Amino acid sequence: MTCAIVGIGRTEYTRKSGRTTRAMAVSACRAALDDAGLTSDDVDGMCTYQVNDSAHPLEVSLALGKSELSWANSMYGGGNLVADQIATAAAAIEAGLCRAVLVYRSLNGRSGYRFGTVEGPMKVPGDNQFDAASGFLVPPQWFAMWARRHQQVYGSTCEDLGRIAVSQRSHAAANPHALRREPLTLDDYLASRWIAEPFRVLDCTSEVDGAVAILIAGDDVIRGTAQPPVWLVGSSNSQSGASFVGWDDPTEMYSRTAGPRLWDKTGLSASEMDLACMYDCFTYTVMATMEDYGFCGKGEVGSFYAEGRATYGGDVVVNPHGGLLSEGYIHGLNHHFEAALQLRGAAGERQVDGAGLALVTAGGGPFGGANIYSKERP
């Protein structure tokens, strides 16, 4: 059985939603059902992933008017699990466990719990206690260390990172749903405040409140949907047990194995992608994973962006919606929304001409994965 995205939904992305994560999840799921021309009766599976705050599938399904699901799953994790959630939903359908699955992520990532916020005694649980001894407590510190190593080994620069941020902001200008649409120049980037060298604030994702839902279905459901299906061609994951401090080569990420594995499984290559929604919790995540997935060689991302190869008219359009850096950080599920919109040809002013294939990546550091979507049935 081949699975496809048949519905997409989301809430507004804001800095203060004033809503619960369950209310936003329900809104996004209803929007995805409406988009597909289906009702909750057509859905018998739900899954989500969560760090800090979210809403359990059973709570959301009940609010949608469903008292029972054939399959439900909630995994603990962040951006590293997005590709896995999509692949798992498709696998559940192909295994006959359910017919259609709502994959959603809902969070108050700005007004609710935020990394770096400490209330009461400061405690570092589990394996993180070993990284904490070196001063690493939150993601900007981990990834900044990795970016610095890339600079030392390959000669990449802050300007190279800045061009990623500037390019994505220029794309966000055409996206009315993006949180940050104001113009950004390289000089603006270089003048922004430091967070953890070599990261400035504009190297970091934009925290938002909001929710996204993706409806995935098998053949029997697809035939009755309102939108053209966006087909899932293949998925790949690489989840390492190594910590950020214990990883052997910070100039590479999980994508050094997940990338070749994905191309092997699908028979496709980076050069065939019309757009790439690259997971961008930080600019460096884009830099390292674009190299690992094969869009360019190691140490060449700076010139790839400087030459205009990562935007309209270039080799591939990277994050046409502005990405997590400028549209907002919904833990990467908004990348899948954008890929589906583009492959439908419904992205409006930011539409990628002739978009037929899209790569969507998830995660960074030692763990993550990717999915490929196609306009045509594989």
189 is catalytic: no
In angstroms, how far is CA 287 from the centroid of its own chain? 15
The active-site residue out of 13, 279, 293, 305 is: 279
Sign of the torsion angle spanned by Cα atoms 324, 328, 332, 334: negative
329 is catalytic: yes
User: In angstroms, how far is the first alpha carbon of the chain from the final one?
Assistant: 11
C-alpha to C-alpha distance for 49 and 57, rounded to whole angstroms: 10
C-alpha to C-alpha distance for 172 and 159, rounded to whole angstroms: 20
The backbone torsions φ and ψ at residue 275, rounded to the nearest 5 degrees and listed phi first, read -145, 155
Three-class DSSP labels, the chain? CCCEEEEEEECCCECCCCCCHHHHHHHHHHHHHHHHCCCHHHCCEEEEEECCCCCCHHHHHHHCCCCCCCEEEEEECCHHHHHHHHHHHHHHHHCCCCCEEEEEEEEECCCCCCCCCCCCCCCCCCCHHHHHCCCCCCHHHHHHHHHHHHHHHHCCCHHHHHHHHHHHHHHHCCCCCCCCCCCCCHHHHHHCCEEECCEEHHHECCECEEEEEEEEECHHHHCCCCCCCEEEEEEEEEECCCCCCCCCCCCCCCHHHHHHHHHHHHCCCHHHCCEEECCCCEHHHHHHHHHHCCCCCCCCHHHHHHCCCCCCCCCCEECCCCHHHHCCECCCHHHHHHHHHHHHCCCHHHCCCCCCEEEEEEEECCEEEEEEEECCCC
The active-site residue out of 13, 104, 154, 329 is: 329
- Residues annotated as part of the active site: 279, 329
